[in-house]
Structure 1
Amino acid sequence: MLLEKLRRGEGFSEAEREIAGYVLERREQVLGMTIGQLASAAYASNPTIVRLCRKLGVSGFREFKIVLASELERSAGIEDVDANVPFGLKESAETIAGRIADLTQATVREGSQLLQGPDLDAAAALLDSAKQVYLFATGDSMVRALSFQGKLLKVNRLVHVTHLMQEQGYYAYNAGIEDCAVFITYHGQQSGYAEYAATMKQNGVKLIAITANSEGTLADLCDLVLPLPLSEDPISKIATFSSQIAIDYVLNVLYSCMFNLRYESNFEMKQSGQTYVERMNGL
């Protein structure tokens, strides 16, 4: 999405970053500007703006404004909340609840816009056909990975996950051509993951990355990348609100797409498994 690319600023020159910053701060105002007015306001040149537009995947400033207007229209009605500091000092509980609700909606909306149907179908097929699934995650993302493991377990998928880096290394070493690995890492720079991915790729393991760093080394090694909105700063954030909302959303979508491939049999398996567990636990 256009706004997401502006926030990332990947491959931008310093002048292009200045333009991107100006647009992000004055989105509605930019819609009414000519290219010359934006160039003057952002202390840039017309050719620099045109180059930025092409890096963003649009032909020029006119198409840029059309796409920007469309994205702003889709986000209308939801307050723009800072993902790093979504509420201020001594705000009421009601205000905080509303801001977190807005942040949740905005994150899911952006995440939905980034996901592509063909990539989801391909990722679901890889999980469905895998003999074993390996999940790589740490920190808060591990909680989401464990939840995902629980969902897959209920439809009889063999899933391995551990928070210990040494054990993750063994997973990478032992995984084979019939297996699939999913890397869940917001910034895509978790120590060791690129090396693990390189080893598994050499051994024929199918690789999926769920990350906001879709152009990093890890993403380049993976067969498929399911992108996350990039909205959190590792230093200034007060908690991993947006990133974990986004990861949870993508994992839920991925599970649902995989479940849907064998809907009737998966549904029957989940129901019969739940009945057995409840009977064994005297529920």
Structure 2
Amino acid sequence: MLLEKLSRAEGFSAAEQEIARCVLERREEILGMTIGQLAEAAYSSNPTIVRLCRKLGVGGFREFKIVLASELERAADTGEVDANLPFGMKQSAEEIARNIADLTRSTVREAELLLDGTSLNAAASMLERARRVYLFAAGDSMIRALSFQGKLLKIDRPVQISNLMQEQGVYAYQASAEDCAVFITYRGRQPGFAEYAATMRENGVNLIAITADGEGEVAKRCDIVFRLPVNEDPLEKIATFSSQIAIEYVLNVLYSCLFNLRYEHHFAIKQAGQAYAEQVERGSERRGNGME
């Protein structure tokens, strides 16, 4: 989490430590400051603040303030549920349920603040125009990707996805300028993804990244990047609660924007497919019961 990273100040230069100290002492006030005003208050400079923002996993001062505001709001509304340790050893089932609900709401709110309509519309148009859509994910994110694939298939969007690295490499090699690829990686460090993105970019493929590492090698190669909240520590977390909540939310928003481009058309396709599937299912049930 942002405030925790500022408190630890691990790997910070002396100038960055002074900026962190200033932010921690004047949290609410920072939200109304410009980058120049913070630089003056911390006896620093605009470039140093930008470098610190990137070190913290955010793209710039504007995004820094959005994430800070979300964390302060979460702390005020919910007592700040820790995304890494959202419950303790002796908490009751009711307390755990409440904490997970609070974490879900705060994560979705923070993810919403990081989205913008222009990028969502552009990404939805890429998916709509694409001859084929390639999804790249691994681990827990693969579950979210498979759910997204199911939604796209229901509106006749052809999707390729694999959890095998060799097959992912083949997809990256075969993709062309008529296609679109979505990279789903919280930390942005999945083996092979940066290389796949580089190859696909050379071939003119439209690329979308969903990641918390907006300055990473995968994000740098993509046309559109949807930033995820930076809340989890890989060594301290109980599970991927916050990251997967954020990924699923962004994918649901992206699907909804795509659906909305041709609402009636997509709705008709989905209804027709569902009606056919139910008809086949009823026929199978009748045969199974000896009715035919």
Q: Which amino acid aligns with 2:161?
A: V
Asked if the contact 2:133/2:159 (under 8 Å) is kept, the reply is: yes
CA distance in 2, matches of 1:198, 1:50: 31
State whether residues 4 and 230 of structure 1, in contact with CA within 8 Å, keep that contact through their aligned partners in structure 2.
Answer: no
* Other-structure match for 1:138: 138
Map 1:1-283 onto structure 2 (within 5 A): 13-17=13-17, 19-20=19-20, 23=23, 27=27, 46-48=42-44, 72=72, 76-282=76-282
CA 1:69–1:258: 2 relative to 1, 3 Å: closer
Post-superposition Cα deviations, 1:35-76, rounded to whole Å, max 9, x if no partner, equal xxx99xxxxx831387766666669xxxx9999679745874
- The letter of the residue matching 1:165 is M
Deviations 1:203-246 (A, max 9, x none): 11110000000011110100000110011011111100000000
In 2, Cα distance between equivalents of 1:83 and 1:117: 27
Structure 2: 5+ residue runs without aligned partners? 32-37, 54-59, 286-292
1:272, distance to aligned residue in structure 2 (A): 1.0
Partner SS state of residue 80, structure 2: coil
The amino acid across from 1:180 in the alignment is: C
Change (3 A) 1:22 1:91: farther
What TM-score do the two structures reach when normalised by structure 1? 0.82
In structure 1, C-alpha distance between the alignment counterparts of 2:50 and 2:212, rounded to whole Å: 21
Question: Is the 2:206–2:223 Cα contact (8 Å) retained in structure 1?
Answer: yes
One-letter amino acid of the counterpart of residue 102, structure 1: D
Q: Within 2, Cα distance between the matches of 1:203 and 1:69?
A: 40
Contact 2:19/2:49, CA 8 A, preserved across alignment: no
Report the CA distance shift for 1:136/1:91 in structure 2 as closer, same or farther (over 3 A): same
* Structure 1 portions without partners, runs of 5+: 32-37, 40-44
For 2:274 and 2:71, locate their aligned partners in 1 and report how far apart those are by CA, in whole Å. 42
Residues 4-30 of structure 1 deviation map (CA, whole Å, 9 limit, x = unaligned):
9969x9x96354246437745884698
Structure 2 CA distance, aligned partners of 1:67 and 1:196?
30
Secondary structure, in 3 states, of the residue corresponding to 2:43? helix
Does the CA-based 8 Å contact 1:132-1:180 persist in structure 2? yes
Query: Structure 2 CA distance, aligned partners of 1:259 and 1:66?
Result: 28
Distance in 1 (alpha carbons) for counterparts of 2:194 and 2:110: 26
2:25, 2:184 → 1: CA distance? 30
Distance in 1 between the 2:13 and 2:158 partners?
46
Secondary structure of 2:78's counterpart equals: coil
RMSD (Å), alpha carbons: 3.5
Task: Please say if residues 209 and 225 of structure 1, whose CA atoms lie closer than 8 Å, have aligned partners that are also in contact.
Answer: yes
- Is the partner of 1:186 in helix, strand or coil? coil
Q: 1:5 & 1:126 partners in 2: Cα distance?
A: 36
Question: Structure 1: how far apart are the matches of 2:139 and 2:67?
Answer: 36
Asked if the contact 2:178/2:205 (under 8 Å) is kept, the reply is: yes
Aligned AA for 2:109?
A: R
Instruction: Say if 1:126 and 1:51 are closer, same or farther in 2 by CA, change over 3 A.
Output: closer
CA distance in structure 1 between the aligned counterparts of 2:67 and 2:109, rounded to whole angstroms: 16
Q: Is the 8 A contact 2:16 2:49 kept in 1?
A: no
